[in-house]
Amino acid sequence: MIRDSELFTVDDLKNILKDFKITNVTIYGDFEIVFETENNKKITMFHENKCCENVYIYSKTDNLDILIGKTIFDVTEEVSNDTFDIDVEDDISFTWTFYKFFYKGLDNKTEEIEIIWLGTSNGYYDEGVELRCKEKK
């Protein structure tokens, strides 16, 4: 059981989202996404940036509001340090985190939305995405 405000993994996220529909999605700039579920949970994807790091939403494949009213039956997370042919300085460390949310769309067809996060730092800081769950008040 996940305690309120506890950081958790993508497997924990799957377990919450597979049983309850998403009721709201809020994006705060490029740094935080909050999913609310019908069982009064607030799930936050974020990274608490420190002095020499920057973790942000690089891109998403669609408007995340499309997830409202949907039950997510699977979530995948993939992490990579590949440059993907972007221009980066030699002394910068970076981490890509890819999340795919799978749900049933029209005609019970499987649909997906991908959210890509990019973290950069001087190599001494964490560049990953954090997940937190809280009870909605």
pTM, to two decimals: 0.86
pLDDT, average across residues 41-46? 92
pLDDT in tens, 111-127: 999 999 999 888 778 88
Q: Are 75 and 22 in contact (CB under 8 A)?
A: no
Query: Alpha helices of the chain — where are they, by DSSP H?
Result: 10-17
Q: Are 116 and 98 in contact (CB under 8 A)?
A: yes
pLDDT, residue 118, reads 92
pLDDT, residue 1, reads 46
How sure is the predictor about 92, in pLDDT bands with cuts at 50, 70 and 90? confident
Sign of torsion over alpha carbons 14, 117, 113, 70? positive
Mean pLDDT of the chain: 86
- Taking the C-alpha atoms of residue 129 and residue 118, their distance in angstroms, rounded to an integer, is 9
The tokens for 124 are 């001494």
Amino acid code (one letter) for 82: D
- Taking the C-alpha atoms of residue 17 and residue 76, their distance in angstroms, rounded to an integer, is 12
3-state secondary structure of 15: helix
Over pLDDT 70: what percentage of the chain? 88
3-state secondary structure of 134: strand
- Taking the C-alpha atoms of residue 126 and residue 27, their distance in angstroms, rounded to an integer, is 22
Is 50 exceeded by the pLDDT of residue 41?
Answer: yes
pLDDT in tens, 6-28: 667 888 888 888 888 999 999 99
- Taking the C-alpha atoms of residue 11 and residue 8, their distance in angstroms, rounded to an integer, is 8
The domain limits of the chain are: 7-135
